[in-house]
Amino acid sequence: MTQLAKIHKGILRWYSKEARDLPWRRTHNPFRILLSEVMLQQTQVQRVLQKYPEFLKKFPSFDSLARARASSVIRAWRGMGYNNRAVRLRKLAGEITHKYGGKLPRTIRELESLPGIGPYTARAVSCFAFGQRAPVVDTNVHRVLRRILPKETQRRRIWDVAEWALPRRNAYSWNQSLMELGSRICVARNPKCPVCPVEKICPSAFKKHIAFRRNGAAEPGRNGIPNRIYRGRIVETLRDSRRSVKASVLGRRVVSGFREKDEPWLVRLLKGLERDGLVRIHNHRKKTEVSLAR
Ligand code: SF4
């Protein structure tokens, strides 16, 4: 048996016994699969487990999401963070409704041509909703592949390695099993090699140097807090307000020690949020006011 075949066997057998029963693994409905993928991109599974059924109850299809007001979708997204996703999802639903009659296209090329759908999401939907043999590489899968196949991942692009490592059958379970292993066992810091199903054949098992960190420039922010956090606080404050709020009042609610000189910075953040379709800025008697997008 080849090394790759042993890896397949070990991981797939472990997954068949240990897989968590998650609602998006009980469906092949394209809308439900896409929603779960978008939600899971930047939010912990536990939080998604709570919000996923709530959101589906309000918006069970592309059509219902496309018809909803932006403010309703942003409110329904409460607690998920990265609110841009709510706006992008609604825009995507509009495109699918108008261009494809409410049905998600099936080919990766068509999926990737849709707004907000990148290589990962296109392949995840293709595999999990339409049963295609497509590789899926998210952060977890990337890390697991780099550790179990270090030589291949040093020589080739990660997507090529993922394609090469895909078993001929069972692509769905293989992709899900890599994600599961990456999120529960082969975690970024202190991977749990002693309980890993491929511990005996993994070249990185028990190696201290395998901590996996993504490099990145420091995020822009203020007082050591990234702007992303302030953006989240602004949307959170506006969700509870049915009227527009003065920028100075909003500033005091979201920034501790907010002063008049901070207002240009705040307005820049607000303009960014407006460009992303999350808020509306109104200029009222030379004062800036803001509300959730309609
Ligand atoms: S043995 Fe350790 S490093 Fe290798 S895949 Fe398993 S958890 Fe990751």
Annotated catalytic residue 37: yes
The residue whose CA has the least distance to atom 8 of ligand 1 is 186
Q: pTM for the full model? A: 0.84
Ligand 1 atom nearest to CA at 197: 6
- Stretch 265-275: mean pLDDT, rounded? 91
Say whether pLDDT at 210 is over 70: no
CB 145 within 8 A of CB 158: yes
Ligand 1 atom nearest to CA at 207: 3
pLDDT in tens, 160-202: 999 999 999 999 999 999 999 999 999 998 999 999 999 999 9
pLDDT of residue 27: 96
Mutate to test the pocket of ligand 1, among 151, 185, 189, 212 (most ligand atoms within 8 A of CB): 185
Band the pLDDT of 207: cuts 50, 70, 90: confident
pLDDT of residue 294: 83
| Within this chain, domains 29-128 and 221-292 share the same CATH topology | no
Q: Which long-range contacts (CB under 8 A, 24 or more apart) does 55-63 make?
A: 56/32, 60/31, 61/31, 61/102, 62/31, 62/93, 62/96, 62/97, 62/102, 62/103, 62/104, 63/93, 63/97, 63/102
The residue whose CA has the least distance to atom 3 of ligand 1 is 205
In this predicted structure, which of 83-87, 141-145, 253-257 has the lowest mean pLDDT?
A: 253-257
Dihedral angle at the C-alpha atoms of 227, 229, 235, 241, nearest 10 degrees? -110
pLDDT of residue 70: 95
CB 149 within 8 A of CB 161: yes
- Of 294 and 113, the one with more pLDDT: 113
Which position has the token pair 């199903």?
197
Domain ranges of the chain: 3-19+136-168+188-210, 29-128, 221-292
Tell whether domain 29-128 is in CATH 1.10.340.30.
Answer: yes
- Of 218 and 100, the one with more pLDDT: 100
What residues flank ligand 1, with Cβ below 6 Å? 144, 147-148, 185-186, 191-193, 196, 198-199, 202, 204-205, 210
In this predicted structure, which of 83-92, 184-193, 208-217 has the lowest mean pLDDT?
A: 208-217
What is the average pLDDT score of the chain? 92
Dihedral angle at the C-alpha atoms of 105, 108, 114, 116, nearest 10 degrees? 130
Mutate to test the pocket of ligand 1, among 14, 148, 209 (most ligand atoms within 8 A of CB): 148
pLDDT in tens, 100-111: 999 999 999 999
Band the pLDDT of 10: cuts 50, 70, 90: very high
- Stretch 255-281: mean pLDDT, rounded? 89
In this predicted structure, which of 59-68, 126-135, 212-221, 274-283 has the lowest mean pLDDT?
A: 212-221
Ligand 1 atom nearest to CA at 203: 4
pLDDT of residue 243: 85
Strand pairing report for 221-222 and 245-246: unpaired
Mutate to test the pocket of ligand 1, among 12, 139, 145, 147 (most ligand atoms within 8 A of CB): 147
Say whether pLDDT at 287 is over 90: no
Tell whether domain 221-292 is in CATH 1.10.10.10.
Answer: yes
The rounded Å distance from CA 290 to ligand 1 centre is 49
